[in-house]
Amino acid sequence: MAKMNKIIVVNKESGMTSRDVVNKLNKILGTKKIGHTGTLDPIASGVLVICVGKYTKLVDEIVSLDKEYIATVKLGILTDTLDIEGNIIDKKEYDVSIEQLKEVFKSFIGSYLQEVPKYSAVKINGKKLYEYARENIDIELPKREVSIYELELLDFNKDSFKFRTRVSKGTYIRSLINDICSKLNTYGVMTDLIRTKQGKFSINESYTLKDIENNNYKSLDIEDVLDLKVLDITDDNIKLVMNGNKLNLDLDNGDYLVKVNNQVEAIYTFTNKEGKIKIKF
């Protein structure tokens, strides 16, 4: 039987949810132990990193990586979902120049408190925000600190523009667009979104579900994904690792991929020569 511990960089099609991708891969790969590493809205396409088998334990590590997107915006309208697929709830005149747009982009570089969109899966009191929205229940939307590292204008027309951005975990591009347009004294909604990178994972090295179904893809191993020092364990320390116990070794501080008999068994974090287990596979 083929090894089922792997990481696959999927190029998600628009029109399907991230959960849809996982469900299809359950059938294609013949396993239910699959997790994705960062939801993409149905309207969005691009990089969706999938962890299979024991590598599902890496989901949180990969979710925390920076992400790069290319987004397209239509000016002058506001929808309840902040994208073109929602219901139009307001319209506003606009007169935006390239110079204004570039200045506003500069103002967003750095960190700021971003309001989570009401059509999102964030939970408040055990209930998802989109569930409140669908029931027309008003609830205070939470704000989260996000970081915008890069914002580059790619195309500009009288009523639309396209940009590339690199952002931190938890950034909603729909909300970023809404905030940008607010500074431009108008409205704007997302009409297209492509996730081009997540950490070192690139859309140029991703595979469609059809590719995977036809076995026309390459999966990644943990050493391809995490740029960590490797620690080969022998003798008395093997039992400590297999039981998830501490290690006392004269090593530099940091995270290590720990191998036993050439198999990755854990990730340990070393501080002042003491290693504590971070992930046990």
Active site residues: 41
Helix then strand count (H, E) for the chain reads 8, 18
Strand partners, 72: 162, 192
Q: What token pair was written down for 201?
A: 């994972």
Residue 216 CB burial class (10 angstroms; 0-12, 13-18, ≥19): exposed
Q: Are 187 and 75 in contact (CB under 8 A)?
A: yes
Q: Are 15 and 229 in contact (CB under 8 A)?
A: no
Question: For residues 94 and 88, what is the distance between their CA atoms, to the nearest angstrom?
Answer: 16
DSSP letter for 83, please: B
Q: Are 230 and 246 in contact (CB under 8 A)?
A: no
DSSP letter for 220, please: B
Residues 31-51 as b/e (b if ≥16 CB within 10 A, e otherwise) read eeebbbbbebbbbbbbbbbbb
- For helices 173-183 and 98-108, the axis angle rounded to 10 degrees is 120
Residue 68 CB burial class (10 angstroms; 0-12, 13-18, ≥19): buried
